[in-house]
Amino acid sequence: MTTLAQRRRRDRLTVLSFMAPVLLGLLIFLVYPLVASVYFSFTTFDLVNPPRWVGLRNWEHLLEDPNVRTAATNTLWLVVVLVPARMLGALGTGMLLARFKRGAGLYRTLFYLPALAPPVAATLAFVFLFKPGTGPVNTLLAEIGIQGPLWFNSPDWAKPSLVLLGLWGIGDLMIIFLAALLDVPKEQYEAASLDGANAAHQFRYVTLPNIAPVMLFAAVTGVIQTLQYFTQAAVAASVASGQATTGGGISSTFGYPEGSTFTYPLWLYVVGFRYGALGYANTLAVVLFVVAAAVTVVMLRRFRSFL
Amino acid sequence: MRLAFIARHSIAIALGVMFLCPIVFLALTSVMSNDQSLTANLWPTSWHPGNYIEVFERTPLPRYLLNTALYAIGATVFMLLASVPAAYALAKLRWRGRTAIFVAIICMMMLPPQVTTVPLYLMWANYGLTGSLWPLVLPMLLGDAFSIFLLRQFLLTIPDEYLDAARVDGCGEWRTLLRVVLPMARPGIAAAAMFQFFYAWNDYYGPLLYTSENESAWTLSLGLASFRTLHAVEWNIVSAATLLTMVPIVVVFFFAQKAFVRGVTLTGVKG
pLDDT one-digit tens code per residue, B154-199: 899 899 999 999 988 888 999 999 999 999 998 889 889 988 999 9
User: Bridge partners of A44?
Assistant: A52
Contacts of B89 in chain A (CB under 8 A): 15, 18-19
- pLDDT, position B269: 61
Backbone dihedral angles phi then psi of residue A43, each to the nearest 5 degrees:
-125, 170
CB–CB contact A111 B16 (8 Å) = yes
The answer, for B111 touching chain A at a CB cutoff of 8 Å, is: yes
The answer, for A170 touching chain B at a CB cutoff of 8 Å, is: no
**Binding-face residues of B in 205-264 toward A, CB within 8 A:** 205, 208-209, 211-213, 215, 218, 220-222, 224-226, 228-230, 232-233, 235, 238-239, 242-243, 245-246, 249-250, 253, 257, 261, 264
CB A272 within 8 A of CB A159: no
CB–CB contact B230 A246 (8 Å) = yes
Nearest 5 degrees, angle CA A54-CA A55-CA A56? 115
Average pLDDT score over residue span B66-84: 97
Task: Please report, as a single letter, which amino acid is at residue A36.
Answer: A
Backbone dihedral angles phi then psi of residue A52, each to the nearest 5 degrees:
-125, 130
CB–CB contact A247 B173 (8 Å) = no
CA B200 – CA A25 distance, rounded (Å): 18
A-to-B residue pairs, Cβ atoms closer than 8 angstroms: 302
Test the A interface: residue of B29, B84, B114 with most A CBs within 10 Å: B114
SS3 A53: strand
User: Bridge partners of A43?
Assistant: A53
CB–CB contact A19 B204 (8 Å) = no
CA A237 – CA A232 distance, rounded (Å): 8
- pLDDT, position A122: 94
CB–CB contact A285 B221 (8 Å) = no
pLDDT tens for chain A, residues 1 to 307: 567 788 888 888 999 999 999 999 999 999 999 999 999 999 999 988 899 999 999 999 999 999 999 999 999 999 999 999 999 999 999 999 998 877 778 898 889 999 989 999 999 999 989 988 888 999 999 989 898 899 999 999 999 999 999 999 999 899 889 989 998 998 999 899 888 888 899 999 999 999 988 888 889 899 999 999 999 999 999 888 887 677 777 888 899 899 999 999 999 999 999 999 999 999 999 999 999 999 988 877 877 665 5
Residue A22 has its nearest CB partner, among B16, B148, B153, at B148
Residue A118 has its nearest CB partner, among B19, B93, B202, at B202
CA A180 – CA A120 distance, rounded (Å): 30
Q: DSSP class of residue B16?
A: H
CB B152 within 8 A of CB B189: no
* CB atoms closer than 10 angstroms to residue A183: 12
Please name the helix (run of DSSP H) or strand (run of DSSP E) that holds residue B112, with its range, or none.
none
CB–CB contact A292 B111 (8 Å) = yes
Domain that residue A104 falls in: 75-306
CB–CB contact A128 B265 (8 Å) = no
Contacts of A287 in chain B (CB under 8 A): none
Q: Which of A181, A199, A234, A192 is CA-nearest to residue B226?
A: A234
A207 in a structural domain: yes
CB–CB contact B19 A22 (8 Å) = no
A52 in a structural domain: no
Number of domains present in the structure of chain A: 1
CA A178 – CA A182 distance, rounded (Å): 6
Greater pLDDT, B253 or A243 = B253
Q: Which of A91, A147, A164, A118 is CA-nearest to residue B21?
A: A164
A108 in a structural domain: yes
The answer, for A182 touching chain B at a CB cutoff of 8 Å, is: no
User: A156 CA to chain B: closest CA distance, Å?
Assistant: 23
A62 in a structural domain: no
Tallying the residues shown for chain B, one arrives at 271
A57 in a structural domain: no
SS3 A44: strand
CATH number of the domain residue A207 falls in: 1.10.3720.10
CA B74 – CA B135 distance, rounded (Å): 12
User: A277 CA to chain B: closest CA distance, Å?
Assistant: 10
Average pLDDT score over residue span B132-137: 97
CA B185 – CA B69 distance, rounded (Å): 25
Sign of CA dihedral B106, A77, A270, A156: positive
CB A126 within 8 A of CB A161: yes
CB B114 within 8 A of CB A265: yes
Task: Please report, as a single letter, which amino acid is at residue A261.
Answer: T
H helices present in B111-234, as ranges: 113-126, 134-137, 145-155, 160-168, 173-175, 182-184, 186-202, 205-211, 220-230
Q: Which of A226, A202, A246, A209 is CA-nearest to residue A86?
A: A226
Residue A119 has its nearest CB partner, among B93, B204, B238, at B204
What domains can you pick out in chain B, each with its CATH number? 2-52 (no CATH), 60-267 (1.10.3720.10)
**Binding-face residues of B in 128-167 toward A, CB within 8 A:** 139, 141-143, 148, 153
For A134-144, the pLDDT digits (tens) are: 889 999 999 89
A7 in a structural domain: no
CB–CB contact B116 A107 (8 Å) = no
- pLDDT, position B37: 81
CA B107 – CA B110 distance, rounded (Å): 5
Contacts of A250 in chain B (CB under 8 A): 208, 212, 225-226, 229
Q: Among all residues of chain B, which has the CA nearest to that of A32? A: B119
**Binding-face residues of B in 22-81 toward A, CB within 8 A:** 22-23, 25-26, 29, 38-40, 42, 81
- Residue B266 clears pLDDT 80, i.e. is over it: no
Percent of chain B clearing pLDDT 70 (strictly above):
96
Residue B22 has its nearest CB partner, among A47, A168, A282, at A168
CB–CB contact A179 B265 (8 Å) = yes
Q: What's the burial of A226, exposed, middle or buried (CB within 10 Å: 0-12/13-18/19+)?
A: buried
CA A150 – CA A236 distance, rounded (Å): 13
CB–CB contact B209 A273 (8 Å) = yes
- Hey, what long-range contacts does A222-225 have (CB within 8 A, 24 or more apart)? A222/A82, A222/A83, A222/A86, A222/A87, A222/A173, A223/A79, A223/A83, A223/A295, A224/A292, A224/A295, A224/A296, A224/B110, A224/B112
Task: Please report, as a single letter, which amino acid is at residue B220.
Answer: L
Burial A121-158 (b: 16+ CB within 10 A, else e): bbbbbbbbbbbbeebbbbbeeeeeeeebbbbbbbeebb
A253 in a structural domain: yes
CA A35 – CA B194 distance, rounded (Å): 32
A188 in a structural domain: yes
The answer, for A108 touching chain B at a CB cutoff of 8 Å, is: yes
- pLDDT, position B250: 86
Q: Dihedral (C-alpha) B78, B83, B88, B94: value to the nearest 10 degrees? A: 130
CB B124 within 8 A of CB B130: yes
Contacts of B58 in chain A (CB under 8 A): none
Contacts of A303 in chain B (CB under 8 A): 269, 271
Q: Which of A138, A129, A91, A147 is CA-nearest to residue A236?
A: A129
How confident is residue B271, by pLDDT bands cut at 50, 70 and 90?
very low
- pLDDT, position B39: 80
Residue B114 has its nearest CB partner, among A133, A217, A268, at A268
- pLDDT, position B228: 63
